[in-house]
Structure 1
Amino acid sequence: MGSEVDRPPMEAWYMDDSDKDQRLPHHLNPPRYVSHEALAKLGVLHWVLNADIYEADPELEKIRAERGYNYKDIITVSPDKLPNYEEKIKNFFEEHIHLDEEIRYCLEGSGYFDVRDAEDRWIRIWVKKGDMIVLPAGSYHRFTLDTNNYLKAMRLFVGEPVWTPYNRPQDENQTRKEYVNHFLQRQPGAVFAH
């Protein structure tokens, strides 16, 4: 999905149910990886871009134009760069939805986006420098840093940014219903978790 940069592809896997440090990988034993195709069925999009040229990258500008991402800013998530770090990282890790897509382009560092599959299991997506990820509106997700404790990302948005999270449960939320109808009900054997 997207242009190639000389580095390993983005990894995703099913998570264990341990309550140990959220910044750890939380692989199953043995690990069970998730393909980019399986993520795409959940509406998760991914590109690998050259983060060293993000300020003048024609590939990034093409994606922004095609998808209407006219707003952008940069956020640095680390204990020494983000005001109210402990409170914010806790809030980022609460399971929630948004009424719009969540678009993040990792410029430096790394972290995890966790998403729910059609059977309500957590999938951990490890984003690193150069990864641009889109989580669809209405999808349950959360974010945390990994053990490097540092991620610098570009946030993209269509129109004016609205960063409001709606914590689970959101069964009656129209955006959540649309996501379930569009992505989850089409998957065989899916449990329709709202």
Structure 2
Amino acid sequence: MVRAWYMDEDLSVDQRKEHQLDPPMPVSLDELREKSGVLHWKLNADTYEEDGELEKIRNERGYSYTDVIEISKDKLPNYEEKIKTFFQEHLHSDEEIRFVLAGSGYFDVRDCHDKWIRIEVAKGDLLVLPAGIYHRFTLDEQNYIKAMRLFVGEPV
């Protein structure tokens, strides 16, 4: 199950660490949706092609295009450069949709009060970041994630 929490902003510590506050301030899925608009589903990453759950969500939300990205030193060309790019705060005019097929990582999103919430994603998590939300991504200390990217229409 996805976990989320308000994070410290000490960037002198490795970005792949949890960055929990002391004491920790967890964020429930309901709070995450209310404060940031982020949506989450837990799917079976081993059976999604047969069980119809992902297909149902794709049809309901209009996700017509997918591709798969693997992020690791061995799989991603220009790995170090890409990792730095992913961790730069940015936003998109469309939703950002990711279904984790293997591995794990963190999406950081700004809440409605401009505070960072760290969202830990792992195998089976489907996450939808709303259009216009400031966010960034980093791997965790496992240094590997394989995720399906979903889009409304083909990405440009």
Both proteins in one fold, TM over 0.5: yes
Which protein, 1 or 2, shows the higher relative CO under an 8 Å CA cutoff with sep ≥ 6? Answer: 2
Name 1:134's counterpart in structure 2: 128
Q: What does residue 12 of structure 1 align with? A: 4
Q: Which amino acid aligns with 2:97?
A: I
Matches within 5 A, 1:39-188: 39-41=32-34, 42-162=36-156
Name the structure 2 match of 1:165.
none
Task: Give the percent of matched residue pairs that are identical in Structure 1 and Structure 2.
Answer: 69
Pair member with larger Rg: 1
Q: Which residue of structure 2 lines up, in the alignment, with residue 179 of structure 1?
A: none
Normalised by the length of structure 1, the TM-score is 0.78
In structure 1, what is the Cα distance between the partners aligned to 2:61 and 2:90? 23
In structure 1, list runs of 5 or more residues that go unmatched.
1-8, 163-194
Q: Deviations over 1:91-120 (max 9, x none)?
A: 000000001000000000000000001111
2:47 and 2:103 map into 1 onto residues whose CA distance is 16
* Cα deviation digits, residues 135-168 of structure 1 (max 9, x gap): 0000000000000000000000001113xxxxxx
Higher strand share: 2
Structure 1 stretches of 4+ moved >2 Å: 54-57
1:26 aligns with 2:19: yes
What is the match of residue 180 of structure 1? none
CA distance in 2 between counterparts of 1:47 and 1:73 reads 19
Pairwise CA RMSD:
0.8
The offset of 1:44, in angstroms, is: 0.3
Please give the TM-score of this superposition, normalised by the length of structure 2. 0.96
Q: What is the aligned partner in structure 2 of residue 35 from structure 1?
A: 28
Q: For this pair of structures, how many residues does the alignment match?
A: 154
Q: Quote how far apart the aligned CAs of 1:55 are.
A: 2.6
* 1:66 alignment partner, SS class: helix
Structure 2 alignment gaps of length 5 or more: none
